[in-house]
Amino acid sequence: MAITAAGAGSNLDVNGIVSQLMAAERTPLALLQKRESDYQAKLSAYGTLKGALSAFQTAMQGLADPAKYNAVSASAADSSLLTATGNSNGKAVPGSYSVEVQQLAQQQKIRSEGFASTSSTVGSGTLTIQYGTYDNVLNTFTLNNAKPAQTITIEPSSNTLSGVRDAINAANAGVSATIVNDGAGNKLVLTAKDPGAASSLKITVSDDDGGNLDTTGLSALAFDPTVGGGSGKNLIQVQAAQDAKLRIDGIDIVKSSNTITDAIEGVTLSLLKTNAGSPTTLNVSPDTAAAKTAVEAFVKSYNSINQTLSNLSAYNPGAKKGAILQGDSAAFSIQRGIRSALTAMMGDSRGFTSLSQIGVTLQKDGSLAVDSAKLQASMDTGFEQIGRLFTIGGTSTDSLISYEGATDKTVAGNYAVTVTQLATRGSLSGSQAAGLTITAGINDQLNFNVDGVAASITLADGIYASADALAAEVQSKLNGLSGLTTEGISVSVSPSAGVLSIVSSRYGSASSVILTGGNGAGNLLGASPVGATGIDVAGSINGVSATGSGQMLTAAGGGSAEGLRVAIHGGALGTRGTIEFSRGYAERLSKVAEEFLATEGVIATRVEGLNASIKDLDRRQEDFSRRLETVEARYRAQFSALDAMLGSLTQTSQFLQQQLASLPTLNEK
């Protein structure tokens, strides 16, 4: 670089000279800054790619849901009578059905007598709510084994009408409470949450005033439909519980709810009103539109990530310039991974195994295109196979074996299942017939340990009509304990020749029922009840011994079936057919995206490397800047000295010139 000075001596342009010298010195710094700018641009590009991959993964996760492809549509000719929706389990059979709704289900409602105000005192104690069926002909109440008893405590501080209402609602015990003012008083109205005859209410009271059946205190809310008014039946029925009754294709059906999921397989009916004598037609058909939308969404999502990758890594011949990630190994790895998953064979041997078979083809530019006619044709001929091409799942040749899950290591394939031991549940059986007379404080207390959780109950006193009734009481009270429900534990209690057996609902070695005490133990189960701990299922998958836990068999590691989980629900010992496990494109691509986005994935690694490089460049720039400051100071000092020296020489020169000019004058003298 040429260096120029404004003049000589004191007129030397020191600043200009130093500025030009420093510009030359800063050249390496500019190169470092440009390199950092390039790295920052790549970081931004990776941010864009990461966002696009995340969106792609989310889309693939949604499209891996079998419900997207197995939907059926169902509609009634008269939608004012009922509505219908197809379930996503793929079990609905297309066809038409004649439906006649003869009676709608409804909840029971019962009310109290009137209270002067909402702040009137009711009483305190506990309310025990049980559910069952009341037979007004036989005047019996049979407990509903599926609905455990619920106990609500009314504290003295909440003993008003409104306090009782709030306590009942807060307990979420399957009953809602409201106060209705009819002009003459305030009445507490209790409504069962569930409709159906088997959800009728029975309310027993443990009143703090000591009278559990009278109409004074909290016992004013007692309701046993089998006894007389004023002696435990102190609420008044406003509306009886009843089941829904309908006829489908001439078959009479009774259900406890107006929402019916198990009358027509794969179809949910919602009854709205009756049409006795005037059946309507229900049509069920595959929802190909929904499946087609899902396939098109898959293609759109793929094309979006493909376009993003292309924009970030392609070369532009016109501009003769490559995109920011052109030649980048990580971007290439992502592009190759996605396309590899896309071109692999998926599905299973019973259906489609490639996208091209359903009209989805790969174009020259790497994008996908849909041949709508071919897609529709594939749905018309193999609708139930479409889902297996996109989702993960398994099917069993044995109806008592079900696919329950797999891991990332499970390879698609057909795996043989052999069962050498069935799972059992823990149980406890009495050694003699149970006594049917229960007396409060004498033989009403029972203590158990169920599946490792302590459980204590108090049976309602009285003379039970049968061992079935007593079994129902024990089951209702045990299953109503919060300690068990919190852990998902429940039991079933049944009699055989008057002897009660209590069986845990859990299978496997963690299942047990142990009697630990209580004054009613001997009366209920005799002196020597027999207990049995549950055992786990045992067997093999793909010829390799599998791990059993409860009814679940899990394939061992190391083989292609690793992580495959199947549930053995019963059946014989020995070879039990096969599980066909398949992975679909959406599920596979979701996993591929997940791997790229992982903390240790290729993007994170690349970003980490770039950030490290940028940090190193920042450090080098700071070091270089400090050196430049030193160089500039040196230059400035040197040229300032030069300027001073030139100024001194100029003054000497001027002095000498003046002296020489005066010499002729001296000679004349």
Helix axes 602-661, 329-343, angle to 10 degrees: 160
Residue 652 token pair = 């000497």
* Residue 488 near residue 512 (C-beta atoms within 8 A): no
Predicted pLDDT of residue 129 = 96
Residues spanned by CATH 1.20.1330 within the chain?
Answer: 1-71+287-391+584-641
Count CA atoms closer than 13 A to 437's CA, side-chain side.
Answer: 2
Span 406-426, pLDDT tens digits: 998 898 889 999 999 999 999
Higher pLDDT, 482 or 280: 280
Span 134-154, pLDDT tens digits: 999 999 999 998 899 999 999
Confidence grade of residue 88 (pLDDT, cut at 50, 70, 90)? low
Confidence grade of residue 385 (pLDDT, cut at 50, 70, 90)? confident
Whether residue 250 is predicted with pLDDT greater than 80 in this model: the reply is: yes
Predicted pLDDT of residue 666 = 57
Whether residue 349 is predicted with pLDDT greater than 70 in this model: the reply is: no
Q: DSSP character for 88?
A: S
Residue of 283, 265, 294 whose CA lies nearest to 379: 294
**Which residues does 103 contact at the CB level (< 8 Å), separation at least 6?**
242, 243, 244, 245, 246, 274
* Residue 305 near residue 56 (C-beta atoms within 8 A): yes
Confidence grade of residue 543 (pLDDT, cut at 50, 70, 90)? very high
Residue 664 token pair = 């002729």
Looking at 1.10.1200, 2.60.40, 1.20.120, 2.40.10, the CATH number of the domain 425-532 comes to: 2.60.40
Give the dihedral sign, CA 337/341/342/345.
positive
Whether residue 595 is predicted with pLDDT greater than 70 in this model: the reply is: yes
Predicted pLDDT of residue 9 = 54
Higher pLDDT, 431 or 320: 431
Predicted pLDDT of residue 386 = 87
Average pLDDT over residues 188-202: 97
Long-range CB pairs of 339-342 (<8 Å, 24+ gap) are 339/366, 341/585, 341/588, 341/589, 341/592, 342/302, 342/368, 342/585, 342/589
Return the ∠ at Cα 89 (arms to 88 and 91), rounded to 5°.
115
- Determine what percent of the chain is predicted with pLDDT higher than 70: 96
- Determine what percent of the chain is predicted with pLDDT higher than 90: 74
**Which residues does 115 contact at the CB level (< 8 Å), separation at least 6?**
122, 161, 185, 186, 187, 188
Predicted pLDDT of residue 286 = 84
Predicted pLDDT of residue 1 = 42
Q: How far apart are CA 67 and CA 260, in angstroms?
A: 19
Tell me the longest C-alpha to C-alpha distance in the chain: 164
Whether residue 653 is predicted with pLDDT greater than 80 in this model: the reply is: yes
Whether residue 5 is predicted with pLDDT greater than 50 in this model: the reply is: no
Long-range CB pairs of 374-383 (<8 Å, 24+ gap) are 375/292, 375/295, 376/288, 376/292, 378/352, 379/286, 379/288, 379/291, 379/292, 380/288, 382/351, 382/352, 383/286, 383/288, 383/291
Whether residue 650 is predicted with pLDDT greater than 90 in this model: the reply is: no
Cβ of 591: how many Cβ atoms within 10 Å? Answer: 18
Predicted pLDDT of residue 12 = 81
Average pLDDT over residues 104-112: 97
Span 459-500, pLDDT tens digits: 998 899 999 999 999 999 999 898 999 999 999 999 999 999
Looking at 1.10.287, 1.20.1330, 3.40.50, 1.10.3470, the CATH number of the domain 1-71+287-391+584-641 comes to: 1.20.1330
Confidence grade of residue 66 (pLDDT, cut at 50, 70, 90)? confident
Kindly report which listed range (99-113, 333-347, 419-433) carries the lowest average pLDDT score. 333-347
Return the ∠ at Cα 573 (arms to 416 and 558), rounded to 5°.
35
Confidence grade of residue 7 (pLDDT, cut at 50, 70, 90)? very low
Whether residue 669 is predicted with pLDDT greater than 60 in this model: the reply is: no
Average pLDDT over residues 165-191: 96
Q: How far apart are CA 583 and CA 68, in angstroms?
A: 15
Confidence grade of residue 4 (pLDDT, cut at 50, 70, 90)? very low
Whether residue 252 is predicted with pLDDT greater than 70 in this model: the reply is: yes
Predicted pLDDT of residue 92 = 75
Buried b (16+ CB within 10 A) or exposed e, 79-95: eebbbbbbbbebebeee
Confidence grade of residue 11 (pLDDT, cut at 50, 70, 90)? confident
Span 561-588, pLDDT tens digits: 999 999 999 999 999 999 988 888 998 8
Residue 90 token pair = 């793929």
Span 36-60, pLDDT tens digits: 999 999 999 999 999 999 999 999 9
Residues spanned by CATH 2.60.40 within the chain?
Answer: 425-532
Residue 273 token pair = 């009103």
Q: How far apart are CA 220 and CA 161, in angstroms?
A: 11
Average pLDDT over residues 128-137: 95
Helix (H, G, I), strand (E, B) or coil at 167: helix
Q: How far apart are CA 42 and CA 610, in angstroms?
A: 8
Whether residue 659 is predicted with pLDDT greater than 90 in this model: the reply is: no
Return the ∠ at Cα 518 (arms to 514 and 520), rounded to 5°.
105
Find where tokens 């109409």 sit.
215
Mean per-residue pLDDT of the chain: 91
